Structure 1
Amino acid sequence: MQTISPRDFTGQRAWEALPIATLSGTTSVRLHWTDQPYRWHVNDGHEVFVVLDGVVHMHTRQHGQEQVHRLQVGDIFYAAPGDEHVAHPQGAARVLVVEREGSV
C-alpha cells in the first residue's frame, strides 16, 4: 500500500513522472509534474488525464480546427486513440495520467 500527496511531488524536469502502478501489465498510472507544455501528439491507446494541482490548457485538433479546454483541479480529459492533443500547464501542475504502457 502507498499514500501519495501530489503536491509533495516535484520533478527535476518538465513531465517527470512518478510511476504508481502498472495495471494488467499493459496500462500505466503515473503522476506527472510539469511547468512546461508537452508536444502535439497522438496516443496509440486511450488516455485519461486528471488535473490534481494547478491549471492546464488542453489543446485539441479535429478536422484542422484547434480548441482549448481549460482544466482545473478535479477535471478529467479523455483522449481516444488517434485524438491529437497537447497539454499547456499554466504555471506548475500535477496530473495523473492513465494510459497504455510506453505511450508518448
Structure 2
Amino acid sequence: MIFIKAKNFTADRAWGALDIANMNGVTTRLHWTDQPYKWHINDGEEVFVVLDGEVNMHYRKDNAEHVQRMSVGDIFFAAIGTEHVAHPIGEARILVIEKEGSV
C-alpha cells in the first residue's frame, strides 16, 4: 500500500515518472514535466489525467491539428491510432495509464 502526494512529485528530467502499478501489463505512472513531449501514437489505448497544472493537448483528427486546454481533473482518452502530444504550461503532474512499454 502506498499514498502519493502528486503535487509534491518532481523528477530530474521532463517526463520523468514514478511507477505506481503494473496490472497485467497495464501501467499506471505519475509524470512530472515542464516541457512538451513528442508527437506519437501509442501501441494501445492511453488515459491521461492532469493532476496538477495545465496542459495543452494537441491531437490530429480528420487531417487537422486541434488543441484542447486541460486543467486539474481533466481526462484525455487516446484510442489506438490517436496521434497526440502534450504541451504543459509551466510545471504539470500527469497520471498516465497505458499498455506497458508504450511510447
Instruction: Say yes or no: TM over 0.5.
Output: yes
> 2:12 maps to what in 1?
12
Secondary structure of 2:2's aligned partner: coil
- Equivalent residues, number: 103
How many angstroms apart in 2 are the aligned matches of 1:8 and 1:75? 19
How many angstroms apart in 2 are the aligned matches of 1:8 and 1:71? 20
Q: Which amino acid aligns with 2:18?
A: L
> 2:32 maps to what in 1?
33
Q: Percent identity?
A: 62
How many angstroms apart in 2 are the aligned matches of 1:66 and 1:72? 20
Q: Which amino acid aligns with 2:2?
A: Q
> 2:58 maps to what in 1?
59
How many angstroms apart in 1 are the aligned matches of 2:80 and 2:72? 24
> 2:3 maps to what in 1?
3
User: What residue ranges of structure 1 are gaps of 5+ in the alignment?
Assistant: none
- Give, in angstroms, the shift of residue 63 of structure 1: 2.6
Provide Cα deviations, 1:21-54, integer angstroms capped at 9, x if missing partner: 0011x10000000000000000110000000000
Secondary structure of 1:7's aligned partner: helix
Structure 1 stretches of at least 4 aligned residues deviating more than 3 Å after TM superposition: none
> 1:103 maps to what in 2?
102
- Give, in angstroms, the shift of residue 92 of structure 1: 0.2
Secondary structure of 1:41's aligned partner: coil
**TM-score, normalising length: structure 2:** 0.98
> 1:91 maps to what in 2?
90
